[in-house]
Amino acid sequence: MSYLVYARKYRPKTFEEMIGQKAVVQTLQNAVKNDRVAQAYIFSGMRGVGKTTAARILAKSLNCEQGPTPQPCNACSICNEINEDRSIDVLEIDGASNTGVDDVRSLREGVQYKPIYGRYKIIIIDEIHMLSKSAFNALLKTLEEPPPNTVFIFATTEFHKVPATIVSRCQHFEFKKISHKDIREHVREIAEKENIQISPFGLNLIASAAEGSLRDAQSLLDQAVAFSGEKVTDDDLKEILGTINRDFLYSFSSAILEMKPDKIFDLVEQMIDSGYDIRFFYAELIRHFRDLLMVRSIETANELLTYEEKEITRLKEEANKANADELLRCLLSLQEGEPSLKFSSHPRILLESLLIRLCHYKRLVPIEELIEDVKKLKSDLSASANVPDEPPSMRKVSPRDSIGNEKKLARTEASQRQQDILSTEKDHKNSESRKKFKTSTDTVLKNPSVQSFMKKFKAQIISVEPEVNKKK
């Protein structure tokens, strides 16, 4: 028999073997047990959490020779055919490659025929969200009123793309991400069955890298065994997974929290020489500061973090270099800079600039201290303002104060004299301008041509000067 990867070899064959989907499993088992199977289901969730597996198990439960039963036997011919993906009554269709209305039309024609060997005809469409709009519309009537003993099961990783008209005709089940603890335990069981030696730290690395996907964890274990053999070391796992050396992370956090910006450039150079991707390293640095904030803020951080006790102790020692507010400020700044780093044409320069700026954060004065200083200054000023002034007769005037007062008085008198002179000159200029205007007017009136014009048209000359105090 050809080699089977762990993801296929250890694929659950019964509802009881499914991991981390208790609510979905219990609902489907009760539906089969109480004969309340719906005509259509939608299974949504991230990759590798058991959507297609649950669809196959439901198909076996409905068509098993011992059923319908919540526990298929996996021994009869029908169960074996479904396990080997060769059952005529169970059609598994890839929605990504059958997106058109013609594909749905042929499917509608096929479901009109009754099942040949089993009780139900099961139609499993994976990645249902990839169907076109016309294909969805062509499926509506068949989905609402399917032929007897026909069940549709849809699986999708992008539930929001499925039209509401489809969702309203189905029962929707949301498959959750599988917990870190469940993934680690499942990988440990596989390692025991396959006689693979792997440390608890290695199990944590695989579970963390899987990010909630059980299939990803199985594939990573398969890859590690292919690289290292039956004895998987922690260093081999770090190299396979591309994990950032935690000593690097501590070096960066120490430089930031100890306000040593001169170390940043050397550390960035070492990180690049080690072959790490800048953006991936930045994401790990954000997680590192999140861990520091967690151990600094709560006492039960070891229950939430997946590290060993030794690593938790090291995190606490590093977090004690700053208070929770400073760690939170650094964490938020790192998150705000991530989009810029992602699209920057010079990611290294931007990374160095961001980290150097973080080194100066501890020098910032908290706003609370500034408010207290302002309040103290106001209280001091109000206290000094309430002190009564001494009468002029009781004040002692020093020789320096006397000389200063005399100088001020002299400057005031000089300024007043200068203003009087300017005012006098302005009045004199106005008087001369009026005399010139009157002289020029008399000269014009004595002109013979002007006098002849005035006699001919009986014109009358009105003074152009405004009448002063006419109303008076």
Task: Extract the tokens encoding 290.
Answer: 């999140």
| Dihedral sign of CA atoms 71, 76, 82, 84 in order | positive
Max intra-chain CA distance, the chain: 140
Task: Give the Cβ contact number of residue 268 at 10 Å.
Answer: 18
Beta bridge partners of 44: 156, 174
Alpha-carbon span 348 to 358, nearest angstrom:
16
Does 180-241 match 6-174 at the fold level?
no
CA nearest to 68, candidates 115, 36, 108: 36
Residue pLDDT tens, the chain, 472 long: 578 889 888 999 999 999 988 999 999 999 999 989 998 999 999 999 999 999 999 999 999 988 788 999 888 888 998 888 888 888 888 888 877 888 888 888 888 888 888 888 999 999 999 988 888 888 888 888 888 888 999 999 999 999 999 999 999 999 999 988 899 999 999 999 999 999 888 898 898 888 889 999 999 999 999 988 889 888 888 888 878 888 889 999 999 999 888 899 999 999 888 888 888 899 999 999 999 999 988 888 877 887 778 888 888 899 898 888 889 989 999 999 888 888 888 889 999 999 999 888 877 766 777 788 788 887 877 777 665 555 554 445 455 454 555 555 556 665 666 666 666 666 666 666 565 555 655 665 666 766 666 665 554 444 444 444 444 4
What CATH number was assigned to the domain covering residues 246-363? 1.20.272.10
DSSP string, 367-427: HHHHHHHHHHHHHHHHHHHTSPPPPTTTPPPPHHHHHHHHHHHHHHHHHHHHHHHHHHHHH
pLDDT in the model for residue 444? 57
Which residues are within 8 A (CB) of 31 and not within 5 positions of it... i.e. 6 or more apart?
Answer: 37, 38
Distances (CA, A) of 294 to 66, 177, 298, 305, 324: 52, 22, 6, 9, 9
Dihedral sign from CA coordinates of 104, 110, 114, 116:
negative
Q: 6-174, superfamily in CATH?
A: P-loop containing nucleotide triphosphate hydrolases (3.40.50.300)
* β 121-126/90-94 pair status: parallel
Q: Residue 254 has what pLDDT?
A: 92
Are 85 and 92 contacting, i.e. CB atoms less than 8 angstroms apart?
yes
First to last CA, the chain: 128
What CA–CA distances, in Å, run from 453 to 440, 443, 457?
A: 18, 15, 6
The DSSP call for residue 120 is -
Q: Cβ(162)–Cβ(129) under 8 Å?
A: yes
Calculate the alpha carbon distances from 146 to 109, 128, 137, 222, 273 in Å: 11, 18, 15, 42, 62
Q: CA 256 → CA 155, 329, 362, distances in Å?
A: 46, 12, 9
pLDDT at 24: 92
Query: What is the spatial distance between Cα 40 and Cα 21, in angstroms, rounded to a whole number?
Result: 19
Decide: 129 and 159 in contact? Cβ < 8 Å.
yes
Which tokens in the block code for residue 143? 């989905």
Residue ranges covered by each domain of the chain:
6-174, 180-241, 246-363
CATH of region 180-241, choose from 1.10.8.60, 3.30.70.141, 3.30.470.10, 3.40.50.720: 1.10.8.60
The C-alpha atoms of residue 160 and residue 163 are separated, in whole angstroms, by 8
Task: Name the residue among 129, 178, 133 with its Cα closest to residue 155.
Answer: 129
